[in-house]
Chain A
Amino acid sequence: MPDIDQLTLNDYPPGAGIGSHIDTHSAFEDGIASLSLGSSCVMVFIKKGRSVPEQDHPTGPLSKAVFLPRRSLVVLTGEARYLWSHGIPFREADLNPEGEAVPRSRRISLTYRKARGWPCACPYRDVCSTPEVGEEGES
């Protein structure tokens, strides 16, 4: 991430989270880095797109939960940035990798991104906010 030019701080009261979303493809380039301060949390990732028929799947969408320790940096690139949505569940405590409950305290995240000045060209066209162009768009 050579030219980071956008920073968003989020201040979450204890237990607060954020709904699952993919950062707008056309707004930011590849590489989204987020530093967790004050508290750990669990970030839940859900795979999107045609390759995952989440509505049809009897057991629900493909998902993974990742424990973000306090003072850690998580960086989303490629598939993790463009194809998986991410969110933080609203809850009082998370389980850490050792299986222990870690209460949420006030968490401040610093999210570093690079604003994009042109259309997104990621390979995940069915989830991309930049519309398909040319003859490939007909399928």
Chain B
Amino acid sequence: MEEAIAAKEALHNKKVPQITLQPEIPVRIEFAEVLRETAREPQEATYMKNVSVSDTARVVLPGLVLLENFVSEEEERMLVAEGDSRDWQQLKARRVLQFGFEFSYLNRNVDSASPIDPFPAPFREVANRISSTLEVRVALSYFLSSRPASLTGFLLFH
């Protein structure tokens, strides 16, 4: 599975004259995953008024991945301490702290042309762990492969 994902990330939709007869045609890489516990069909959903948390807590919705114990208790303490050492922005019911790019709570968007402070090292380490986690890569890769063909045109021409 690792190899299949790596191959797709590296080669899908790229022109690789070394392995194609017609250099202008991009390579297409597809793979299938054997369905496991985390990828099973979602159970029938319940309706709002009938929601009981204990009934639905184990129901996974399409595209949601939940990974328990992603950080240790020691890492948790260290990450919270790192946050506590910074200046936060107070909102109505909570406070926020941002790195990389600023999300504006007024227009609900980011200005991707204006970077702010980079991630402090302990937070970057978690980002790297997320990026290299197999379950996350499988979930993202699955959605990309399931897009209808008409959207490919949208991606290419807009």
Residues from chain A with a CB closer than 8 A to the CB of B67 are 72-75
Given that A11-B96, A24-B109, A64-B56 are known contacts, is A76 also in contact with B64, CB under 8 Å in the complex?
Answer: yes
Residues from chain A with a CB closer than 8 A to the CB of B51 are 44, 63-65
Residues from chain B with a CB closer than 8 A to the CB of A8 are 96-98, 103
Contact with A along B81-115 (1 / 0, CB 8 A): 00100001000011111111101000011101000
Given that A27-B108, A67-B57 are known contacts, is A4 also in contact with B155, CB under 8 Å in the complex?
Answer: no
What's the nearest-Cβ distance from chain A to residue B83, in Å? Answer: 5
Residues from chain A with a CB closer than 8 A to the CB of B126 are 35, 110, 112
**Do residues B130 and A112 form an inter-chain contact, with CB atoms below 8 A?**
yes
CA–CA, A18 and B93, complex, Å: 8
Residue of A whose beta carbon sits closest to that of B60? A66
Q: Which of A46-69 contact B (CB under 8 A)?
A: 46-47, 57, 59-69
**Do residues B147 and A80 form an inter-chain contact, with CB atoms below 8 A?**
no
A139 is an interface residue with CB less than 8 A from chain B: no
Given that A72-B70, A75-B65, A75-B136 are known contacts, is A30 also in contact with B143, CB under 8 Å in the complex?
Answer: yes
**Do residues B143 and A78 form an inter-chain contact, with CB atoms below 8 A?**
yes
Residues from chain A with a CB closer than 8 A to the CB of B79 are 35, 37, 108, 110
Instruction: Place the interface of chain A in its size category.
Output: 35 or more
Interface of B is mostly: mixed
**Do residues A65 and B53 form an inter-chain contact, with CB atoms below 8 A?**
yes
B127 is an interface residue with CB less than 8 A from chain A: yes
**Do residues B97 and A37 form an inter-chain contact, with CB atoms below 8 A?**
no
**Do residues A77 and B139 form an inter-chain contact, with CB atoms below 8 A?**
yes
B18 is an interface residue with CB less than 8 A from chain A: no
B30 is an interface residue with CB less than 8 A from chain A: no
**Do residues A64 and B46 form an inter-chain contact, with CB atoms below 8 A?**
yes
CA–CA, A27 and B126, complex, Å: 22
Residues from chain A with a CB closer than 8 A to the CB of B112 are 115-117
Question: Which of A28, A80, A136 makes the CB contact (< 8 A) with B62?
Answer: A80
**Do residues A121 and B155 form an inter-chain contact, with CB atoms below 8 A?**
yes
**Chain B contact residues, CB within 8 Å of chain A:** 9, 45-54, 56-73, 76, 79-80, 83, 88, 93-101, 103, 108-110, 112, 119, 123, 126-127, 130-131, 135-137, 139-140, 142-144, 146-148, 150-151, 154-155, 158
**Chain A contact residues, CB within 8 Å of chain B:** 1-13, 16-18, 24, 26-28, 30-31, 33, 35, 37-38, 42, 44-47, 57, 59-81, 84, 90, 94-99, 108, 110, 112, 115-119, 121, 123, 133, 136
